[in-house]
Amino acid sequence: LGIAVTPDAVWIALRHGREEDAVAGSVVRVDPLTNQVVAVVPLGSSTDGGGPTRIAASVSGVWVGIPSSRSVVRIDPGTNAVVATIPGLTCGEGELGADDSGGVWVADCDAVRRIAGLRLGSI
C-alpha cells in the first residue's frame, strides 16, 4: 500500500504479502539497478489492524505506519533494521511525509501529527 524511493533503494510496504516474496506485514527493499529484493524487514500484521500501509523516506531513515500497533517505525537503511518505534497514533493508516530536517508528518485519523526527535506531537 505504500512506496518510497531513495537514490539506492525502492521501499515497499506490504500489508498483504505472498509467502514466496515476503510475508504480510513486511517492508521490502528493492535494488533499483537489479530490480531484486535485497532485504525484507518483518513488522507484523494482524487481521483486525493490518500490517504496514504508508511509507516515507528521508535523511533520517525510512518511516512506516503500522495500523495494527497504531505506531510509526523508523528503519535504518544502513542496517535494514527497525531502530525506533513511535507509539500513540489513533489509527496509523494515514499518509506519511518526511522533510529534510528529520521531521516526519503523519495524517492520523483525528489529527495531523509531527514526529520530531522520536516524539509524537499534534498540530
Amino acid at 94: G
Tell me the mean pLDDT per 10 residues along the chain, length 123. 91 74 80 95 71 86 89 94 91 84 86 78 59
Q: Length of the chain in residues, anyone?
A: 123
Yes or no: say if 26 and 18 are a contact pair by the CB < 8 Å rule: no
pLDDT at res. 101: 79
Q: Render 79-90 in DSSP notation, one character per residue.
A: TTEEEEEEE--S
pLDDT at res. 84: 92
pLDDT at res. 109: 86
pTM of the model: 0.87
pLDDT at res. 51: 79
pLDDT at res. 79: 96
